[in-house]
A and B are shown apart, each in its own frame.
Chain A
Amino acid sequence: MEPVLKVQNLGMNFGGLRALDDLDLDVCKDEIVALIGPNGAGKTTFFNCITGIYPPTDGDVFIFARDRDMPERINGLKPNKVTEKGLARTFQNIRLFPSMTVLENVMIGRHCRMHAGVLGAVLKGRSTVMEEKKAVEDSYTILEKMGLAQFVDEFAKNLPYGAQRRLEIARAMATEPFLLLLDEPAAGMNPNETQELDELIKQIRDKEGISILLIEHDMKLVMSLSDRIFVVDYGKKIAQGTPEGKKSRRAPRKR
């Protein structure tokens, strides 16, 4: 299996606090990998380090983009650059653009794949008009895939909770990623919605060919979805393996 993301010895210090310590992780192509652990274990910090919101103190993050043979080191890149390289993420507490319409939210995701500048916007030349039109159509297609087409002109803040979660995924998909990072996608969902999400994530992997790394507390979802599981506590990796292997072993929290 060829990897798409390889993280080696990742460490992150907040002053004297070591939030991440020597963490190794890899995601292969067409794989769903879950990152689990108790609250405060450093899972979201790990996401933030990979996506450039915090620059990691030490270690390396390599990505293997589709069109490149060589691994590319992405530590310390700005978040928008990381997204441009093909890593898209969602947030634990939903961070949509509340006063924009659903379609516009997705169109923001298309932003880094568009090129119109100030002059283009003012003169509205042929290329800009075409680009705009294509962005609208692409965004709409994504919304249809995610089952959000009915909300297209609705404000994001007026959507039901489950739909907001899906919209966040749709927005991330609009950036054309090869790896999708989902931070607790099922948080606050009822069993029905979780079931739908389960299918949706599998569909994204199978139909779009996007690998997925997710943080989740809902163990049922994790067990049914993931190909491999990493367990983190106190910023250290304490176990890794397949769902079948994990079920039998309990990883008690060490003090």
Chain B
Amino acid sequence: MIKFDEIKRAVLVSIWFMFLTFPIMVIRVNPVEHIVEWRWKNMVLVGIGSFLLSFVWNYLMKRKELGSKEAEAGEETIKISLFHRALNEKKIYLPALVIFGIFTISFPFIFSMYQTTIMVTALIYVMLGLGLNIVVGLAGLLDLGYVAFYAVGAYSYALLNYHFGLSFWIALPIGGALGAIFGILLGFPVLRLRGDYLAIVTLGFGEIIRIILENWNEFSFGPSGIANIPRPPLFGMDLSVHGSTTYIYYIMIVLCVFTIFVVNRLQDSRIGRAWIALREDEIACQAMGIDKARTKLTAFSLGATWAGMAGVMFAAKTTFVNPASFTLWESIIVLCIVVLGGMGSIIGVIAGALVLVLTPEYLRAFSEYRMLAFGTLLVVMMIFRPGGIIPNVRRTYKFESVKNADKS
């Protein structure tokens, strides 16, 4: 039942919101006619709106608390793993996978070119997210300069093509390899660092790369960037813009599937376990015979490889690169994808990338309130799903065979 206390709180919240939004929602100064317009109606709307919202909020918070109490009692496990159980049930996930596959393949034919372009961007971020997921989600190394490797990939294709005329398919592995090399270059000086210090150094590294690209005119053509980068060729055919967008979309799908495949295998391997152990406890990890330096360097370089390849894709897709595409904001978005999706969870990162890249696009209806709505969405998501959209679940093993072998 609604208690008096709750009403009091909701009223306080609505007054607070009316106060906060007063300058932007109520006052409008018209400098031409020297008139100050007072829009009291807006204030009333804000008051009512926030009053109702605070009720909804309270209700949701209560449910959440109830949920965590149940979790303490050990009842939550079944609920949370419903999704993961569905993943393990062949009858459910096979048809779902087929439907999803058909949908992805027919996507460019169902939707407009605009939608396909957005989707390609989203898929590039899926790749970036999965790459950073190795570094941040698995190995626990907070990397704020991830965009540097993305830039390395993009510029390696742009420059190799400009100077030597290398085609997309040759540049793609080279971009990945260069990303890996830069990953190791960054990895060496930061081997001893962790946590906040690591974040600051990587942030600096990302900025260094961007500033070099911006100022070294002879090498990278400065802020004006490099234009006319060819799109990926299809057996020498010259595709129309529409055709090549579709083609890039399919390349991206294949690359994403490849990324998922590799990251998934890595995660359950000897190296993947070492990464997770490194995240959990560095000293214990070393005392258990894991080479800390090597494990960190593989994490950095493997993470950067995907960024390098995504960079090549980006250059091929936009046909133009300049340093403005590789700001700190990009790193933060990718980090948000990993954290919001669920650290270390592949399917979570994919969901995170789609949500984070697609929502701002579809929120264009809100025009100037777009970023506000986006921010609200992020905050709400982090409060109600602190582990990410789809949190990671550790793999478990079956032991029937071993037990029986011991008995016999």
Contacts and interface: CB of A to CB of B under 8 A. Distances in A.
Contact of B288 (A53, A109, A135, A137): A109
Given A95-B284, A96-B284, A108-B285, A101 B394 contact: yes
Contacts, number: 116
A121 B291 contact: no
Bin the interface of chain A by size: 35 or more
A40 to B, nearest CB: 20
Interface string B270-300: 1111101100110111111111100000100
A136 B290 CA distance: 18
Interface of A: 51, 53, 78-80, 83-84, 88-89, 91, 95-101, 103-104, 107-109, 111-114, 116-118, 120-122, 124, 128, 131-132, 135-137, 140-141, 144, 152-153, 155, 171-172, 175
B73 interface: no
B71 interface: no
A80 B292 contact: yes
B287 A108 contact: no
Given A101-B394, A112-B289, A136-B397, 5 more contacts: A53-B283, A78-B286, A116-B271, A117-B271, A172-B288
Interface string B373-408: 000000000000000000000101101001000100
A140 B281 contact: no
Contacts of A116: 269-271
B289 A175 contact: yes
B2 interface: no
B396 A121 contact: no
Nearest to B266: A121
B404 to A, nearest CB: 12
How big is the B interface, by class?
20 to 34
A84 B270 CA distance: 16
Task: Name the prevailing secondary structure of the A interface residues.
Answer: helix
A144 B407 CA distance: 13
A118 B274 CA distance: 12
28 contacts: A53-B286, A53-B287, A78-B286, A78-B291, A80-B287, A80-B288, A83-B287, A83-B289, A91-B284, A96-B280, A96-B281, A97-B281, A100-B273, A100-B276, A100-B280, A104-B273, A108-B273, A114-B270, A120-B269, A121-B265, A121-B272, A131-B270, A136-B397, A137-B402, A140-B402, A141-B402, A144-B406, A175-B289
B298 A107 contact: no
Contacts of A128: 269
Contacts of B276: 97, 99-100, 104
A109 B289 contact: yes
A109 B402 CA distance: 20
Contacts of B286: 53, 78-80
A118 B265 CA distance: 10
A51 B284 CA distance: 11
B240 to A, nearest CB: 37
A183 B277 CA distance: 21
A79 B274 contact: no
A112 B288 contact: yes
Nearest to B406: A144
A51 B269 contact: no
Contacts of B396: 101, 153
A103 B397 contact: yes
Interface string B173-215: 0000000000000000000000000000000000000000000
Contacts of B274: 108, 111
A98 B283 contact: no
A121 B295 CA distance: 14
B321 interface: no
Contacts of A108: 273-274, 277, 285, 288, 290
Contacts of A122: 262, 265-266
Contacts of B298: 118
Nearest to A177: B289
A133 B281 CA distance: 25
Contact of A83 (B265, B270, B288): B288
B302 interface: yes
Contacts of A141: 402
